């Protein structure tokens, strides 16, 4: 049921409200508090409501972030003292798809063992449903401000001109953090819209052509692009040249690791 990126597929076929309800009940069997956030896809609110209902039916409290970047959801599990988090997203997939991805308090995705536990409970479909006076609560929580604060606290003040292509997704937190750091920021496709009218969600070189052109023709130091849930980042140099994910990984690794240290990366 779960792949390495969670559950993902066409809504109404592989991903349904019934499935979200059952995942909520299964996850709630091992949690007391769960953070939930979603990207702006049209099906997201329905799936969040079903997931939250399943969690609450077994007595688990739900902390609802609303539309939130997947990295925000992952961080918020620890910030809110929760036991797990769920991103309702299909990441860079097209609008008809959606999915569920589970997070641990460490900010890491559920591992194979954790996914297997939840899958077993979903398939057994024998939840411990609680009476009316033991149902979990549902509370709306804003984690965006805390995420911006964390990003700003991890960097020095920057005097840069940056174009950010949000891709009609949930990644506006990046632009907000850059503004707080002192950058001049211009956004493209900044209105969350799960139909992704500005460009296809995946930030490929072809899909980021408008960003590259804007940066090349303007006085920008760089461009940044995200997918629908902002767990993918691509960039352009100041002349508009697209920078691949592998090149960004090498740059980040060089910054994070000291000379002589070894860096482990996936082959994708």
Residue from 5, 43, 87, 91 carrying the catalytic annotation? 91
CA dist., res. 86 & res. 70, Å (int):
9
- Enter the DSSP assignment of 125: T
Alpha-carbon Rg for the chain, nearest whole angstrom, is: 19
Q: How far apart are CA 140 and CA 156, in angstroms?
A: 32
91 is catalytic: yes
Could you list the beta-strand ranges (E) of 82-175. 84-88, 97-103, 138-140, 161-165
Q: Which of 174, 237, 233 is nearest to 204 (CA)?
A: 233
- In whole angstroms, how far apart are CA 247 and each of 164, 234, 243, 252? 18, 10, 6, 9
| Three-class DSSP category at 150 | helix
d(C-alpha 198, C-alpha 207), whole Å: 9
Instruction: Select from 124, 45, 114 the least CA-distant residue to 77.
Output: 114
Catalytic residues: 91
């Amino acid at each position: 049921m779960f792949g390495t990126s969670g559950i993902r597929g066409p809504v109404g076929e592989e991903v349904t409200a019934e499935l979200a309800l059952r995942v909520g009940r299964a996850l709630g069997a091992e949690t007391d508090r769960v953070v939930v956030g979603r990207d702006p896809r049209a099906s997201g609110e329905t799936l969040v409501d079903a997931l939250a209902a399943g969690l609450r039916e077994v007595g688990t409290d739900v902390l609802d972030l609303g539309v939130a970047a997947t990295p925000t959801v992952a961080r918020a599990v620890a910030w809110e003292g929760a036991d797990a988090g769920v991103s309702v997203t299909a990441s860079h997939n097209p609008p008809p798809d959606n999915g569920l991805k589970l997070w641990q308090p460490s900010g890491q995705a559920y591992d194979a063992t954790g996914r297997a536990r939840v899958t077993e409970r979903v398939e057994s479909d024998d939840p411990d449903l609680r009476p009316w006076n033991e149902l979990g609560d549902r509370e709306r929580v804003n984690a965006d401000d805390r995420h911006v604060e964390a990003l700003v606290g991890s960097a020095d003040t920057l005097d840069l001109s940056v174009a950010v292509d949000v891709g009609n997704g949930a990644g506006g937190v990046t632009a907000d953090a850059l503004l707080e750091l002192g950058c001049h920021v211009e956004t493209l496709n900044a209105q969350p819209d799960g139909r992704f009218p500005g460009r296809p969600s995946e930030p490929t070189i072809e899909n980021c052509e408008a960003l590259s052109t804007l940066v090349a023709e303007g006085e920008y130091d760089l461009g940044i692009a995200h997918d629908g849930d902002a767990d993918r980042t691509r960039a352009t140099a100041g002349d508009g040249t697209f920078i691949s994910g592998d090149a960004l990984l090498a740059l980040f690794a060089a910054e994070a690791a000291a000379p002589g240290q070894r860096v482990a990366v996936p082959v994708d």
